[in-house]
Each structure stands twice: as structure tokens, then as C-alpha cells.
Chains A and B, each alone.
Chain A
Amino acid sequence: MAEDLTLSSQLSSFKVTGANSRTGYLRNGIGDILPIAPLVIFLLVFFLWPISAVFVNAFKDNDGTFTWSNYLLLFQDPYRRAFYNSVRLGIISALTGAIPGALIALIIEKIGGNRLKKIVASVSGVLANTGGVPLAFMFLAAFGPEGLATLSLKALGIDIYGHGFTLFSFWGLVIIYSYFQIPIMVIIFSPAIEAIRKEWHDASQSLGASNYQYWRFIGIPILIPSFIASFLLLFASAFSAFATARAMTVGNISLVPLIIGTLLDGNLTVNQFNLGYALAMGMIIIALIAMIPYLIIQRKTSRWLH
């Protein structure tokens, strides 16, 4: 009963008003951490414990003795290849999301009235949450060989299948991911653009800067940290996406999340369970490399643009 614990512990901390008596002091000390205990315990059980288990078991072989071999396997094909593909997908998908998304956010801020801004914000909010299997099928139906989108593009003289393109491919995934990556970028990058003050442009003008100089010395340097942070977040989102990729690549591109999924389906030997844990640790490490700078930059820029 986590909720009862929280409420009663709050009750106790409300009642303790001063530290003038010794019991009061003691109760204050316990009441101090008790209210956040349920949340901490919840995260310990459902988050930190699973993650630590992955970490520990990745160092075990079939008999449960310590080994590096699971990690060493990550540097060999096909797993090395899978990591390469996943990272490449993350980077390219982050770029195809970040650049158009930043442009849209800039244009909306520059020419958009309040109504357009609201519409774009709502639509982006909705599309950013669109993913998984339904997204994959939507694209398959529209851009399949017989799909309406394919046929209308053909009518306009663009034959997307003319050059051997298929949605069941790396670039197919990049295109499908952009359907949620671009809106995510619009959402997370817009605040950075809105935080740019009119005074900075005015001041640069009165100090003698041209429009170009303003963007070069002020505008772009101010936006770069937010852009990098957004890029990292998009990278992480594409790098670890599972559902859409699983629906779209029936074994023809090897990506780390898909391999883990297959290993965990349980048709394989125990040995490969441990390999799955090492793969998961590999993903966590790469995600950490991307997300920790993201969080640091986020904090820094929020102080800048207060």
C-alpha cells in the first residue's frame, strides 16, 4: 500500500512542527526522508533492480561464473554490425528530424500568427506520440506498391519504386521515423526559438550588425546548444525504437533492439540470454553517452535563456 504509507508519513511530517524536544528532533529526522520513500522504493524495484540485474548477468556465462566473453562478442559480427546499424539509424534519423523540425519551428515563429502556432503545437504534440505498429502499417498501406500515395506520386511523374526503393529498408525506416521525429523536434526546439529576445536583434542592429552578422554571432550560437540537445534526444529515440522497426524489418536489417527481442523470445539457448544482457548494456551505455550531455546542455541553456 504505497499510497497509505505516503499519506501517513505526510501526516507525521505535518504534525512535527519544531525540533525543540528530543523526540521531535528524532521524528523530524525520520519524517525527513519517509515521504519520498515510496517513490524511491518503487523506482528501486521496477527500475534500478532490473537494470542492475542486466548489468550483473551480462558478466556471467552459462554456469554463472564471471566472464568478459559476452561483452567481447559485441565487437564481433553480427552484433558489431547491428550496433553500427542502430547508431547510424539514430544519427541519420536525428538529422532528418532535427533539420526540418528546426526549420519549421523557425518559420512558424517568424511568420506564424498565434493561431498557426497553436495549430502546429497541437498537431506536433499528436504526431510526436504516433509510433509503434500502427505507424508502420499506415506507411505500408499508403506507400506500398498499390498505395494511394505511391500512385498519386506516380501520376505526378515520381516513381518511388523506379530505383529499387522499398520501405522495408534502412532508408524506409528513416522516412517512417521522421513522421514522429520532426514533430518531436518542433516541440522541443520551439521554446529555444521563443526564448530569443527581440532586444537581441534590435541591440545587434544598433551596434552595427547586419542581419547576417546577427545570426552568425548571436542567433545561431544561442540556438546551437539547444539544437545539439534536441539532436541527442532524437538520436536516443530512434536508436532505441523497437515497435516500428520490428513491424518494418522482417529480419532484413539487423538492429540491436530487434536482436535483443529475438534472443528474449526464448527459443534459444541460455547462453544467448546472457549475450542479450550484454547487448542491452551496450544499448544503455550508448544511450548514456547521448543523454547525459543532453541533460547537461538542457540545464545550461535553461539558465541562459531564463
Chain B
Amino acid sequence: MTSNALKISGLTRRFGSTVALDDFNLEVGIGELVALLGPSGCGKTTALRIIAGLEKEDAGRVYLGDVDITMRPANKRNMGMVFQSYSLFPNLTVEENVAFGLQMRKVNKSQRVNRAHELLELVGLNSQSKRFPHQLSGGQQQRVALARALAYEPEVLLLDEPLSALDAQVRANLREEIRRLQLALGTTTLFVTHDQEEAMSISDRVGVMNHGKLEQIADPNTLYNQPATAFVAGFVGVMNRIPTKSQNGYVNIFGKDYEAQFIGSVSEDVIALVRPEKISVHASTVNSNAKLLMKSFLGSSTQLTCQLSDGLVIHALSDSQECNNLELGSLITLQYNSKKALVGSV
């Protein structure tokens, strides 16, 4: 007896000599939105397609609630899926596309038309119901695809990079809309993406994948501040990697010692992992340890590119107001503002 909507255990899949999934495990709670994040080729899409039943696994099991559905064909799994693009049926109108799942479930015509309009209303496209997919913009097409996948109240919604073919502005809007709908309908959702901002902004939990394995799964905050592996630390957000020495559980950063939190094995030569926003920058002529190379204005904050005297380039993030007085090429002092420091092995 579990409270999981979806459980995957020991999933393995090989394509020739490459291993797409290597003993992959995942549990998704009822009504939860979980994102699978990773670089391309990390196996996240393969995992999603196996869950949907569109691809075969070499080993492992997929459970829907307590039911083992590993052997169930795709069309009997009652999952909704949204693809990257071009998945709407070009010969059907928007309304017919949305009603298609209900039509397959033998729902009578008037009921499925009503339901299709309900869903189109939810995604704000009721006025477009008689149009054909090629008459819609990319963002509208993905909204229709979302409505289509939700129309028959699937037990799990699977999103396969649904936003990656869209423009930045449309992407940001639609991403929030997905979350709003998902919360309103309470649909258990698994969301595959390579865009960390996307994953971090709307998910309850984010699973970071690499080489067919789940590196870490946690809420976005934990993932960002307490990465469990060096890969997660490097992949999520911007991270400065500063080669340095550790001694007695302390590590030296910009000339000062901080309590070391080791990821992986403890050793003498280490790499300190430092977030840009944890670095403060001061103009100084004495005790300076770096030079300012570039300022990139980002709005409320400004990204500062600095070069240490040993040549290492460091990114810092500073309040725009505070770094007005910093001149390009001037000498500066960098300081790490935290008690503890994440440390990875070389």
C-alpha cells in the first residue's frame, strides 16, 4: 500500500552499446508535479516514453498506484502525454483533437464536445475550436495538446519537453499556465525538460538525471543549496569552481578559511563550489585579489566577471545599486559570504 501515483523501479534500457537508462528508480506522489532535468542524452525522454508505454524496457517495472502496468500497451495506460511539437492531428479540428481521447473511450458525441469546450475554455482557446492545427501558433498548438491530454482525466500527465520549441516569452507564460492547470485539476504530472529554470520554477520536486541514473531528487530549494553530487552542483544554476586546498575540515576561499561540506570523498586538493550571489565585491586598492573584467546589467542585479590574480575567472552577482561605483579594469576584493562551503573532489 503506497500513496504513490506512479512508481518506477529498476528501469534499464540499452540502445546498442549506449545505456539510456541504468537501474532508474522514481516515485511520484498523488497530485505532485515532478520534473526530470538533465542534459540531452541523459535518458529522461526514454524514461518518459517507457512510462507511457511507447518504448520497451530491458528490465524494471512501472506501477500505476499499486498496479503493475509494465506489460500494459500504451493505449490502455490511461495517461495523458504532451510532446515537444507537431503532435496535433492535422486532419482534425482543435475541438476534434481535444475530444479524440474521449472518442476512443466511446464517450458519446455531445458529451465529448462539451468536455472539449470545457478544456479549451481552461486553456483560453474556446474561440479557436473549429480551426485546424496549422492555423494556430506554436504556443496555441501546445495549449491544445495540453487540453487534449487532460480531457479524459488521465491518471498521470506526461510532458515531454512541451515548451522547448517555443519562443522565450510564450514559454514563460505557458509554463505558469501548466502549473496553474495542474494544481487546479490535481493531476499527477511528470515533466521532462533540459531547461533548469523551467524545472525549478514550477515543480514540487526536481529529479536531476545523468547517464541514465537519477543523481538527486529534491525540492528546488534543496537542490540548489544542498546538491548531493558534484554533477548536480555543477548542472543546477551557475557555480564557480575554485581549485583550492582543504585542511582539518576547513577550506580556503579568497584567502579565508570556511567549514567544508564535502560532496564525495575527502582529500587535500579540492574544488570549492561557490554560487555567484554568495560572493561580494568591493572596490579596493589595498588587499585587492582580483580585477573587474565585465559588468552585465540584468535588472535588479548585475553579473560581475572578475579575474583572480592567478588568472581564474569568477562570476559574482551583486545588487545593481551597489556596484555602480565599480569601474571596468579596476582592482577589487572578492569575499565569500557564508559560514560553510561546498567542496567537491578534483
Contacts and interface: CB of A to CB of B under 8 A. Distances in A.
Given A213-B104, A221-B91, A205 B75 contact: yes
A200 B87 contact: yes
B83 A203 contact: yes
B104 A208 contact: yes
15 contacts: A199-B85, A202-B54, A202-B74, A204-B89, A206-B54, A206-B80, A206-B158, A207-B80, A207-B100, A208-B75, A208-B105, A218-B91, A222-B89, A304-B91, A306-B134
B87 A203 contact: yes
Contacts of B146: none
Interface in A210-229: 210, 213, 217-218, 221-222
Nearest to B85: A199
A20 B80 CA distance: 60
Contact of A205 (B74, B86, B105): B74
Given A222-B91, A303-B134, A306-B134, A203 B81 contact: yes
Interface in B36-93: 49, 52-54, 73-81, 83-92
A231 to B, nearest CB: 18
A200 B77 contact: no
Nearest to A195: B90
A182 to B, nearest CB: 26
Interface of B: 49, 52-54, 73-81, 83-92, 100-101, 103-105, 132, 134, 145, 148-149, 152, 158
B90 A304 contact: yes
Nearest to A209: B104
Given A213-B104, A304-B134, A306-B134, A203 B89 contact: yes
B91 A208 contact: no
Contact of B152 (A208, A222, A306): A208
A256 to B, nearest CB: 37
B148 A207 contact: yes
A250 interface: no
Nearest to A305: B90
A59 B100 CA distance: 56
A197 interface: yes
Interface string A282-304: 00000000000000000000011
Interface string A169-187: 0000000000000000000
A202 B85 CA distance: 12
A224 to B, nearest CB: 9
A209 B104 CA distance: 6
Nearest to B96: A217
A205 B53 contact: yes
Contact of B100 (A217, A221, A222, A304): A217
Nearest to A306: B134
A204 B100 contact: yes
Given A199-B83, A199-B86, A208 B54 contact: no
